[in-house]
Amino acid sequence: MAIKFQRVPSAQPSVAFAARALAIVLALGVAGLVLAARGNAPVELAWEVLSSTFGSSFGLEDVGLLVTPLILTGLSVWVALRIGAWNIGAEGQFYAGAFSATAVALFIPGPTWLILPVMFTAGALGGLLWILVPTLARAYADVSELITTLLLNFVATLMVYYVATGPWLDPSGHALATTARLPHDVPEFWGIVHYGFPLAILLTFVIAGLLNYTRWGYEVRIAGSNPSAALYAGMPFRRRLIVILLMSGAIAGIAGMLEVAGTVHRLQGGISNNFGYLGIMVAVLARGSSLGVLAGAALMGVILNSGIILQTQGITVSAVLAITGLILFFTAIGNELAHYRITRTEPAAS
Amino acid sequence: MDMIAGLIQTSILAGGVLALAALGETLSERAGVVNLGVEGLMALGAITGIAVVVATPHPMLGFVLALAVGFLVGCVFALGTVVVKANQVLCGLALTLMGTGMAATIGRAYSGMPAPATFAPIAIPYLSDIPLLGRAIFTQNILVYLIYIVLPVVLHYIMFRTRHGLNMRAVGENPAAADAAGISVQSIRFWYVAAGSALAAGAGAYLTLAFVPSWSEGVVAGRGWIAVSLVIFAGYRPLNAVLAALLFGLITSLGFVGQARNWPIAAPILSMLPYLGTIALIIVPVLAWQRMRRVMAAPAALGEPYFRDMR
């Protein structure tokens, strides 16, 4: 009897899931080994992280606060991937959304019940405008949206840094490099976790519903898995692509609006906390599943929170980024290996 | 006149970073592999360079060790993308996150420290005495001549004038045909990806040893992504890539000149120039010259893993 590895065109979901789980465990294992080599005690650190995350309501609230933007940036990247496009610019759209929402809050007077929805709309529009040029360039000139969306991240970062240190600097003089505290807050519903959290989950279900149960969503999914088949069937690929990418930008913009209005309350450089890049990780972990976006965001939230807890141990946000990269690398390899099937064949009689 | 000479001198110096990284990416992409990890490789090269010159006063050693680090990391990347044939976009993004994160973590000890030894400019006799622009062009560090003249000419010759180069381009255009002709698709891709990664890391070392020259978190600042865009703009050709890098360097140095001359534009706004310029330069030519699309097109099998038994 001989054992053969055979590659099949689409991976079995259960195998793909196991491969991703293994990738995460392996990456965390490698991170633990590096920590051990640097003289830390990985098991004790892991215990400290787990007990302070899940041991108290405060720990869970911290994670909840981080999961909110991660769901949305993850959803943003995930939506674009449905049609086969890479929105690597969720980071920039996040900044643009936070920027627009802050502009509304600082310069338009009015009661909170009126201004919050305006801020929300402004955030979504900011994200949408930020992806407009890459979208049109991809749709009409076939310029890779991956690179253009990414380059705009740097522009958005600089723009927010500029207004937070220059024209919109807190006039009270107490704060450096940040705007004044915004007069309107997204209300909290559980400890420090604001209503953005349930809103993000709701938005995920709405978009999953659109993609799974409407003709429009069907056409998007077909266009994503086989563009030429979609064109041959007469589906308007370009129009679907434009709408999906603009939607993707708007979702990331909403994430930025909720972060500035619900969590940070001031616009400042570095407000995005790499949420845009971590969103890529969330979308990749989720693969085709919308529930996977929520699960992926929860996982990345716990990992990001662990990094914050371990800051006192000399572990930085950069280390979390490196570990995320390691998980992504192993996941990519796991995704590919999940395509292989082991078959046993009887040797031919000779 | 002084201002223009200064502008050209800075453009050449700034373009060198992009040129070296873009030459590396050209090698990888011509063999059919998109390496989106350039940004991360540059960060690793940058920190390697600075760490070496802090320990020993030899910038050349720092540069060479950065090449070696890039080569090793490139081998790991090639293991994922060429041997296992995993998704190239994902592996590239992973490499960028890993490289950026690792370099920032290691680099905390070196933050803000100026490089104790750097590549000093060398005036080439006679040529640097040419009036007007002679000094600007021919008083540069040794790497500039290597990056702008030696490397692109050698690479152009290998890629377009030798049998081996034809094989390499065939692997990027049509791996199945190359395979049928007896060329090893896997080994060509593996070694060119590793070599390209080495050059990307070298570009990072150039950044901290010749251009900035100090380490700070975020010192790479998207130059890796600009280099990837530049390869597209240059139509995947090494000589074009170097000229394009010079143009991109000019855009970068306009921002420097603006800051030095106190133009009434805020520094962060001037810093946006390279990114906005890059976006414009990859969109506008496609719109303006539709016919150029075919001539400057990407290798046909770019980004696609090659499976022998799939037809």
Residue A15 forms contact with B (CB below 8 Å): no
Query: What is the DSSP-derived secondary structure letter of residue B128?
Result: G
Collapsed DSSP state (helix, strand, coil) of residue A188: strand
Q: State mean pLDDT over A265-291.
A: 90
| Angstrom distance (rounded) from CA B217 to CA B200 | 18
Give the residue ranges of DSSP H helices in chain B: 2-30, 38-55, 59-78, 88-107, 134-138, 142-145, 151-161, 163-173, 175-180, 185-206, 223-233, 238-260, 267-271, 273-288, 292-295
* Tokens 């992973």 -> residue: B94
Q: State mean pLDDT over A236-254.
A: 96
- Are A94 and A127 in contact by the 8 Å Cβ rule? The answer is yes
Q: State mean pLDDT over B82-106.
A: 94
Say whether pLDDT at B153 is over 70: yes
The closest CB to that of B275, out of A146, A155, A336, belongs to A155
Q: State mean pLDDT over B166-175.
A: 95
* pLDDT tens string A100-143: 999 999 999 999 999 999 999 999 999 999 999 999 999 998 89
3-state per-residue secondary structure call for A54-102 = HCCHHHHHHHHHHHHHHHHHHHHHHHHHHCCCCCCCHHHHHHHHHHHHH
* Tokens 């597209």 -> residue: B232
Best mutation target among B105, B259, B291 (most A Cβ atoms within 10 Å) is B105
- Are B273 and B47 in contact by the 8 Å Cβ rule? The answer is no
- Beta-carbon contacts of A125 under 8 Å, excluding residues fewer than 6 positions away, are A100, A250, A253
Where residue B311 falls among pLDDT bands split at 50, 70, 90?
Answer: very low
Cβ atoms within 10 A of the Cβ of B304, count? Answer: 15
Res B310: pLDDT? 56
Weakest mean pLDDT among A262-276, B131-145, B179-193: B131-145
Identify all chain B residues contacting A166, using CB atoms and an 8 Å cutoff: 266, 268
The more confidently predicted of residues A54 and A329 is A329
Where residue B137 falls among pLDDT bands split at 50, 70, 90?
Answer: confident
What's the ipTM?
0.92
- Domain A41-315 fold is ABC transporter involved in vitamin B12 uptake, BtuC (1.10.3470)
CA distances to A26, A30, A339, B243 from B246, in Å: 43, 41, 44, 5
Which residues in chain A belong to E strands, given as ranges?
2-7, 188-190, 193-194, 340-345
Collapsed DSSP state (helix, strand, coil) of residue B111: coil
The closest CB to that of B86, out of A323, A325, A336, belongs to A336
Across the interface, do A328 and B99 touch by the CB < 8 Å criterion? no
Query: What is the DSSP-derived secondary structure letter of residue B300?
Result: T
Residue A133 forms contact with B (CB below 8 Å): yes
The more confidently predicted of residues A230 and B257 is A230
Collapsed DSSP state (helix, strand, coil) of residue A4: strand
Say whether pLDDT at B262 is over 80: no
| Angstrom distance (rounded) from CA A40 to CA A63 | 24
Across the interface, do B90 and A161 touch by the CB < 8 Å criterion? no
* pLDDT tens string A74-87: 999 999 999 999 99
Res A316: pLDDT? 78
Say whether pLDDT at B9 is over 80: yes
The more confidently predicted of residues A248 and B287 is A248
Residues in chain B: 311
| Angstrom distance (rounded) from CA A309 to CA A323 | 15
The closest CB to that of B286, out of A143, A161, A325, belongs to A143
What's the N-to-C CA distance of chain A in angstroms? 13
Calculate helix-pair angle for A90-107, A237-258, nearest 10 degrees: 60
- Are B109 and B215 in contact by the 8 Å Cβ rule? The answer is no
- Mean pLDDT value across chain B: 90
Res A210: pLDDT? 95
Cβ atoms within 10 A of the Cβ of B247, count? Answer: 16
Give per-residue burial for A128-143: e unless 16+ CB within 10 Å, then b.
Answer: bbbbebbbbbbbebeb
Residue B140 forms contact with A (CB below 8 Å): no
Res A347: pLDDT? 66
Across the interface, do A161 and B268 touch by the CB < 8 Å criterion? yes
Residue B280 forms contact with A (CB below 8 Å): no
Q: State mean pLDDT over A182-199.
A: 90
Query: What is the DSSP-derived secondary structure letter of residue B150?
Result: I
Of the candidates A335, A345, A349, the one whose C-alpha atom is nearest the C-alpha of residue A13 is A335
